[in-house]
A and B are shown apart, each in its own frame.
Chain A
Amino acid sequence: MALAEMNTTLAENARGPGAGEFAPSRKRRRSVFFTVLRHSGALVGLMVLGAIIAMAATAPLIRPGDPLALAGTPLLWPGQDLAHPLGTDNMGRDVLAGIMHGARVSLLVGVAATALGVLGGVSVGAVAGYFGGRIDNLIVRFIEIFQTIPGFVLLVVLVAVIQPSIWTVIIGIALTSWDTIARLTRAEFRTLRQQDYVSAARSVGYGDAHIILREIIPNALPPLVVTATIMVASAILSESALAFLGLGDPNSVSWGAMIGTGREYIRTHWYLTAIPGGFIVATVFALNLIGDALNDALSPHLART
C-alpha cells in the first residue's frame, strides 16, 4: 500500500553528497508559456477563448448595425432561417448578433473589472504585507469588512442605486472583488518579506522599491496571475447575473440580459435561454481551464524538479 506520497525532504536528498557527485543540472527552467501549452486542458481553454475573442472582434463586420434592432420575424428557431442561424427573439432581434456583440461586453467587463480590482487589491495588499504594523492592521480590518458584506448583494445595491451602465458595472465588480486579491497579496508579501534572500538584498543596501519590485513581486506573481485569471471568469459571471436581474447597461446587449428576456419564453422557446448561457459557460470554463493550467505550471512543487 503506497498511501504516503513522496515528500520534498526525501526528494531533495537526491542532491546530497551521499548520493555521489552533483553537477549543476543542465535542465533549464522551462518557460511557463511552454509548460502551459503542454497541458491539454489549457490548449482547449486557449482555443475556446481565442474563438470568443475572434467573435467579439469581428462582430461589427459579420453582424453590423445595432444588435438591439429588429432584424426579422420574431421567435424563429435556430436553423429555421439561414439568415438567422441562431434564431430570433420575441422582438425579432437576431440571436447571433446578440451573442457576438454580447461577447464584447462580457470580455470588456471581465478584463476591465479585473484590471481595476487587481490594481487596487495588489497595491493595498502589498502595502499591508510589506510594511506591516499599524497600517497593516487598518487594512486588514478594512478587507475584513469587505469580506463580511456579501459581495453580490453589495454589487446589486451599488449598481441599482447609481443606475446601471457599463462603467458602473465595471466599477461595482472591481469594488466587490479587490478584497480577495488584496488578502492574497498581503499573505504573499508577508511570507516573502521574511525570506532570507530579501534580508540579503537589504543587507546589500537595496531600498524598499527595489525589494518590492525585484525580489518580492517576481516570486509573488504566480499565485496572483492564477487568481487574476479566475477573477476574469467570475467578473463575467457577475456581469451576466446583474444583466439577468435587469441591472445591465440598458443600451448594450449582454448575454445575461438575453437570458433574462428569454426566460419569459422558457416553456416554448428554451433556446433563447440555452444559447447565451452556453456561451457564458464556454467562456468561463475556458478561463478556468487556463487558470488551472497556470496553477499547475507555476506551482512550487514542480518548479523544484
Chain B
Amino acid sequence: MSRNRRILLSLRRNLLQAIPTMFVIVTLGFFLMQLAPGDVADYIAAETGAASEEGIHALRVQFGLNLPVLEQLFAYYDNLAHFSLGISPRYGAPVSDMIMARVPGTLLLMGVAIAVALLLGFAMGTTMALLSRRLPDRLLSLLSLVFYSVPTFWIGLMLIVLFSVHLGLFPSGGARTIGGPSEGWDWFVDRLRYITLPALTLGLNYVAIYARLTRAAVIEAQRHDYVRTAIAKGLTPARVIRRHVLRNALTPIAALTGAKVAGMLGGAIVVETVFSWPGMGRLAYEAILAREYPVLLGILLVSSALVIVANALFDILQSLLDPRVEVS
C-alpha cells in the first residue's frame, strides 16, 4: 500500500470516529452544565446587582433558559454548529474568541514540553537500557521515578524559588517581557527565557514516562531475533543499536506520545496557572475563580477537539513508522 494511501485511510478512519465522539462529548458537557447551581441569568443578575425577579426572568427569556431542556439542547447544538460557544457573561465577549486567543499559547508550551521530554527521556532511557542492571541504570531509574512522582505545580513553584527568586536567571511568569523586543534574535531569546521554566515543569513527568518506556522498548528489542540477525550480518554495534534497536523502539514511543496528549492538556492548566502563562489553562483557572461555567465547558470541548486532532496526527506517524500497523 502506498504511503499516501495509508495516510488518507488513516485520516478517514479518524474523521469517521471523531464525529460521534465529539457529539457525545458535547451532549455530556451540556448535561454537566445542567448540574451547575444557578444559570447564566443568576450570574448576570449577581454581577450587575439587578436582583429583581422580573429582571432575572427577562434575562432567562433572552437566553432561552425558560425553554424545555431538550429545546435548549438543540439550540446549543445549533450554536455549536456555527462554532459559537456562547457569550461570557462577565466579559461580554464570545467564549470561542476568548478560547481561540489562548490556544496558540498552550500549543506552543505543550510542543516545547514534548520536545524537551522526548529528547531527555529518549537519551535517559537508552543509557539505562544499554547499561541495564548496572549502577547508572539504577540511579537513573530512581531519578526518573522521582520525576514521575513530583506534582507539576509544586516543582514549578520550587523552580521559581530557585531560578527566579534566588538566582534571578529566569522570569517567574508571563510569556514575554512587556514592551520588550518584538523581532529578531533578541525576541527569540526573550521568549526562550520565559518558556524555559514552564516547559521544563510541564515536561518533567513525561521525561520520566519516556525514559522508562524507552528503556523497556530497547531491552525488549534486544531480545528480538532480528537483532541477532543484524549482528550475524556483521553490522557494527553502533549500527545495530541505531538501525535495529532504537529505530524499532520509536513505534511504541510515538504511540505513547499520542496517548499522552490528553494528559498533558490537563497538566497545562496547573502549569499555566503557576507561571501565569497566557494559555487555555490559565483561562480555565480564571474561569474557575469567576465561576464562568460556559468558558470551562468551552475549554473542555476545544481541548477534546485538540486531542482528536493530535491522535489523528500520531496515528499517521505510527503508520509511517511501522508498516504493519493496520489502517483499513
Contact surface of A with B, Cβ cutoff 8 Å: 1, 3-7, 41, 141, 144-145, 147-158, 160-163, 233, 237, 240-241, 244-247, 256, 259, 263, 266-267, 270, 273-274, 277, 280-281, 284-285, 288-289, 292
Contact = CB atoms under 8 A, between A and B. Distances in A.
Interface string B150-164: 111111011011000
A160 B292 CA distance: 10
Interface range on chain B: under 10, 10 to 19, 20 to 34, or 35 or more?
35 or more
Given A145-B25, A161-B32, A246-B289, 15 more contacts: A6-B223, A144-B17, A149-B307, A150-B265, A153-B265, A156-B269, A160-B288, A233-B149, A241-B151, A245-B285, A256-B153, A273-B158, A277-B158, A285-B146, A288-B148
Interface in B276-328: 284-285, 288-289, 291, 293, 296-297, 299-300, 303-304, 307-308, 311
Nearest to B165: A267
A245 B154 contact: no
Contacts of A7: 223, 225
Contacts of A277: 151, 154-155, 157-158
A240 B307 CA distance: 24
Nearest to B36: A161
A246 B158 contact: no
A-B pairs, 9 with minimum CB distance: A152-B266, A277-B154, A285-B149, A284-B149, A150-B265, A150-B262, A161-B36, A5-B222, A5-B223
A191 to B, nearest CB: 17
A169 B300 CA distance: 18
Given A241-B153, A246-B288, A153 B231 contact: no
B66 to A, nearest CB: 21
A161 B300 contact: no
24 contacts: A3-B240, A4-B227, A147-B262, A149-B25, A151-B262, A152-B267, A153-B284, A156-B288, A158-B32, A162-B36, A163-B37, A240-B153, A241-B151, A241-B270, A245-B270, A245-B285, A266-B161, A273-B154, A274-B158, A277-B154, A281-B146, A281-B154, A284-B150, A285-B145
Nearest to A149: B304
Contacts of B146: 281, 285
